[in-house]
Amino acid sequence: MTTKRFDLYTEGPVAKQLFWMTLPMIGGMLTNVLYNLADTLFVGHLGEQGWDSVIDPGYGKVALAAMGCTFSVVVFCGSFGMGINTGLSSVLSRIIGGGDPHRPRQVATDGLILSVLASVMLTVIGLATIDPVFALLKTPAEAMPVIRTYMTIWYYGLATMLIPRVANAALRAAGDTITPSVVMIAGAILNVGLDYLLIFGHWGLPRMGVAGAAWATVISRGLVAIYALWALRKKGLLTFEFPRLRVLRESWGKILYVGIPSTLTTLMFPISIGAVTRLLNSHSTNPNPVLASAENLSAVAAQAAGMRVEALVMMALWALHTTVGPFVGQNFGAGKMDRVRRAKNAAMWFSLAWGGFCCLLAFAFAGHIAPIFRPETDIQEIMTNYLWIIAIGLGFRSMNFMGAAIYNAMNFPGRAAAVDLIRLLVLYIPLAWLGRYFFGLYGIFWGLTAANVIGGLATAAILTHLPEPPDNATN
């Protein structure tokens, strides 16, 4: 096996290569986001005439709010996988860029083993802490039965979600963005089809409601995991030889050197979302507890749907985020800092341009999108305003996570952590709380936007001077 089996991006036009690396990922991201939208749409219409065989008009609102409450916990668990992804991608891309012909297969395999162990640990802890965690988020009592059902199934299938993500990270580090895109597209198509069949009960299958959404995710991701492992094996990035403990420890040490700081900072995002969910679950000042609970439930449901739409317009930025890291890693490993700087500039300018485009989309279509998810006018109004406000900061938010990806790829996890923590810890939660304190519900959304704008500008300033690669850049 030699590095000729991998796609190298250390020569040629930078912008063109980034474009062709990113383009396949946009297709994968798009279908993945559309799956999340379909998932939210189906769950939101549970109990409604014309959608469901069991008529319970209020159940869809409760189910949608429950899905919103689970979001921060789901992302929290995914953050551990994301940390392994980031560490593996950084180490592997620098090794490949440096021209080492032997180590990539073992390092990729060791990263997969680490992801399986992490999923087992998270499953055990997660199943034991469902009630206290959601109590901490001030989850409405009527949503808890739905959450217990969904999260129990989801936790048992956690490994099927982490394995494809780690496999995709390894493939992208090797310059292959087409296979990860195929993996995501196949998983999303399977998920949407199973969602519809299992949530509402069609083709002789039982009506499972929210449990059907969880089972659809586990089954589709399990099938995709098998394909991803086959793709790794074909690419020469997977071995079934029993790993030597010394080699395993060395690989894990290098992956976790980047992965642990990345995990800790990535965990700040779901913690921040959880804090915002807590604010939404307690924002109402209505003295009537029943009416206050209903208002809080509407706010959580509206944001849950709004975040899915937000993810749709962010797909191109997320796609670039997944490719700029491997590109920078390969060139940093090869000592080509001029190409690293050009990649950084391209990512930053594209973030701002796409962010402006998202603002135009939000102002033009947000009011027409909200009624698709729920018929209640209060939910529609909150969701529309959420999309209008949050769109202003999307480009700046992208600048922030592009900066973190670049620093991680260059093996400077401390700097990547600083970039993330400025936005999430110093700005995100405090500004959301201040916004709620002074301006109520919509003040929360303005606080989040202010955090994204300030964090993005700070990242751009920090990235003005990139560090030079040390002699052991590929290690």
pLDDT tens-digit profile of 162-201?
Answer: 888 888 888 888 878 888 888 888 888 888 888 888 888 7
Which H, E and C letters describe 355-416, residue by residue? HHHHHHHHHHHHHHHHHHHCCCHHHHHHHHHHHHHHHCCHHHHHHHHHHHHHHHHCCCHHHH
pLDDT by residue (tens digit) across 221-258?
A: 899 889 889 988 888 888 888 778 888 888 888 898 88
Sign of CA dihedral 410, 411, 412, 416: positive
Amino acid 258 reads V
* Integer Cα distance of 470 and 475 in angstroms: 10
Q: Where are the alpha helices (DSSP H) in 157-288?
A: 158-173, 178-200, 210-235, 245-280
Which H, E and C letters describe 51-62, residue by residue? CCCCCCCCHHHH
The full set of domain ranges for the chain reads: 3-462
pLDDT by residue (tens digit) across 135-145?
A: 887 787 888 88
pLDDT by residue (tens digit) across 90-129?
A: 888 888 887 766 788 888 899 999 999 989 999 999 999 9
The whole-chain average pLDDT of the chain stands at 83
CA angle 233, 238, 243 (to 5 degrees): 150
State the first-to-last Cα distance of the chain, in angstroms, to the nearest integer.
Answer: 19
Instruction: Indicate if the pLDDT at residue 35 is higher than 70.
Output: no
- pLDDT for 473: 53
Identify whether the C-beta of residue 330 lies closer than 8 Å to the C-beta of residue 177.
no
Identify whether the C-beta of residue 378 lies closer than 8 Å to the C-beta of residue 298.
yes
* Residue 76 CB contacts under 8 Å (≥ 6 apart), including other chains: 267, 270, 271, 274
* Residue 2 CB contacts under 8 Å (≥ 6 apart), including other chains: 101
SS3 237: coil
102's tokens: 């032997």
- pLDDT for 165: 85
Instruction: Indicate if the pLDDT at residue 1 is higher than 50.
Output: no
* Integer Cα distance of 212 and 209 in angstroms: 5
Q: What is the DSSP string of 59-121?
A: HHHHHHHHHHHHHHHHHHHHHHHHHHHHHHHHHHHHHHHHT-SSHHHHHHHHHHHHHHHHHHH
Give the confidence band of 50 by pLDDT, cuts at 50, 70, 90. low
Instruction: Indicate if the pLDDT at residue 150 is higher than 50.
Output: yes
Instruction: Indicate if the pLDDT at residue 472 is higher than 60.
Output: no
pLDDT by residue (tens digit) across 51-71?
A: 665 666 667 777 777 877 787
